[in-house]
Amino acid sequence: MIILGIESSCDETAAAVVEDRTRILSSVVASQVDVHHRYGGVVPELASRMHVEAIIPVVDEAIQKAGISLDQINGVAATRGPGLIGALLVGFSFAKAFAHARNLPLAGVNHLEAHIYSLFLMDDPPALPLITLVVSGGHTNIYYVASKTQFELMGQTRDDAAGEAFDKVSKMLDLGYPGGPVIEKLARTASPNIQFPRSLLEKNSFDFSFSGLKSAVARFIHEQKISSPKDKARVAASFQAAVIDVLGTKLIQAAQARNCPRIGISGGVSANQTFAQALRERAGKEGIRVFAPPASLCGDNAAMIAARGSVMIEQGDLCIHEHDVFSRNKI
Ligand code: KG4
Ligand code: ZN
C-alpha cells in the first residue's frame, strides 16, 4: 500500500511517499527557517502564506522522486494537529481536496503520534512496549506506548517545551533562530561549569518545567554581563547540560516505573547528539536501550505522517469531509 504524507503544522512544508507502512520512497522537506530567522521565531501568518506557495511543488517533487504515478497512490495522510491553525489548514485542505478528487481514503494524523512513528521508520526499530519522549519546539511529552495505537501520556511540560527553551536562550545570547543546533554546536567548545537549576518537580511526577531554568539563564546573562563568544559558549553548555540532565532523569525514572527496557526519543530536540549520547550512557548503566531516529527523521517531516497514516488507513480510522484541524494536543 502506497501512502502520500503531508505535513504543514509549523514552519516546514513536507511531503513523502511511504510504501507498506515503513519503506520511504521519497521525503521532501521545504524549510521556511531562513524567512523566520529574520524575526527570531516563527511568524504564523508568514508560515501560512509560504505553505500555500510550497505545497504543490513539494508534493510534485515527492511523487517524482518516489518514481510513482498518481494512480499508484492508495491513500493520503495529513497532519490534522496540533500546530498553527493557519499552517495546518493549508496541508490538510490540500490533502482533503486531493483525496476527494482521486477518491482515496484520508487519515488526519496527530503530529505527536507521528513523531513517535519516526522511531518505527528506523532500520532497527524499537520493540514495544516503549517509553518515549516527544521533544520539540512545542512539546516535551513522555508516553508509554503499549502498542502502535495506544499512547499513554505519562508526563508533559507545565510551561515551556525543551525546544522552546533552547530557542529562547539562543535569542538571549543573540544566536538566532532556531536555537537548538547553534547552542549544541557552541556548547561543544566549552565546559558546562555554571550550575543552573534542575527542576524535577514532585518525586513521582513525570512532568517537566523549564521556565525556572530559562529565568536563571536570563538573570545570569544580565548580572554577569555575558557578551564574549567564550562566555556565551559556557552559558550554552551549562544550559544544555541542565536540560539533558532533567530529560534523562525523568526518562529513566519512567522506564523503571514501568519496568521497560527501552527508551525512544524523537522530535526536533532529539537531533541533539550530545543529548542522545548522554542518555545512551546513562540508560546503558541501568540496562536500558535508547532509540533515536536519524537526523532526517527527528525534525518535522512527512514520512512519519505517512507512516502513522498508513496504520490509520489500514484500520479504517479515516477522516470525513467535516473533520477540521486542531491547534492543541489531543493525546
Ligand atoms: O519537531 P520540530 O522540528 O518542530 C516542532 O514540532 O516543534 O522541533 C523544532 C525544535 C526547535 O525548538 C529547535 O530549536 C529544536 O527543535 N532543535 C534542537 C536541535 N535541533 C532542533 N534542539 C536542541 N538541539 C538540536 N540539535
Ligand atoms: Zn514536530
Write out pLDDT tens, residues 181-225.
999 999 999 999 999 999 999 989 999 999 999 999 999 999 999
The conformation of residue 203, written as its DSSP 8-state character, comes to: T
pTM of the model: 0.96
Query: How far is the C-alpha of 4 from the C-alpha of 243, rounded, in Å?
Result: 36
Ligand 1 proximity of 239 Cβ (cutoff 6 Å): no
Q: Which atom of ligand 1 is nearest to the CA of 181?
A: 26
pLDDT of residue 329: 82
CA of 8 to the centre of ligand 2 (A): 10
Strand partners, 17: 4, 26
CA of 241 to the centre of ligand 2 (A): 22
- Report the pLDDT averaged over residues 98-113: 98
Q: Is the dihedral of CA 89, 94, 99, 101 positive or negative?
A: positive
> Percent of the chain having pLDDT more than 90?
92
CA of 228 to the centre of ligand 2 (A): 33
pLDDT of residue 69: 97
Instruction: Return the amino acid letter for 195.
Output: Q
Number of Cβ atoms within 10 Å of the Cβ of 308: 30
Q: Are 198 and 206 in contact (CB under 8 A)?
A: no
Could you tell me the strand order of the sheet in which 150-155 lies? Answer: 150-155, 140-147, 130-135, 262-266, 289-291
Ligand 1 proximity of 246 Cβ (cutoff 6 Å): no
Whole-number Cα distances in Å, 16 to 88, 97, 243, 249: 16, 17, 32, 35
Question: Which pLDDT tens digit goes with each residue over 162-176?
Answer: 999 999 999 999 999
- Report the pLDDT averaged over residues 125-139: 97
- Report the pLDDT averaged over residues 275-293: 98
Question: Which pLDDT tens digit goes with each residue over 268-278?
Answer: 999 999 999 99
Question: Which pLDDT tens digit goes with each residue over 16-40?
Answer: 999 999 999 999 999 988 888 888 8
- The closest of 27, 101, 109, 106 to 70, measured between CA atoms, is 101
Query: How far is the C-alpha of 77 from the C-alpha of 16, rounded, in Å?
Result: 10
Q: Helix, strand or coil for residue 292?
A: coil
- Report the pLDDT averaged over residues 122-132: 98
Which residue spans within 199-319 are E strands per DSSP?
A: 262-266, 289-291
- Asked if residue 330 has pLDDT above 80, the reply is no
- Please name each of the domains of the chain with its CATH number: 2-116+298-314 (3.30.420.40), 127-292 (3.30.420.40)
Q: Which atom of ligand 1 is nearest to the CA of 138?
A: 7
Q: Are 268 and 163 in contact (CB under 8 A)?
A: yes
Whole-number Cα distances in Å, 163 to 41, 226, 240: 12, 22, 11
Per-residue pLDDT band at 145 (split at 50, 70, 90): very high
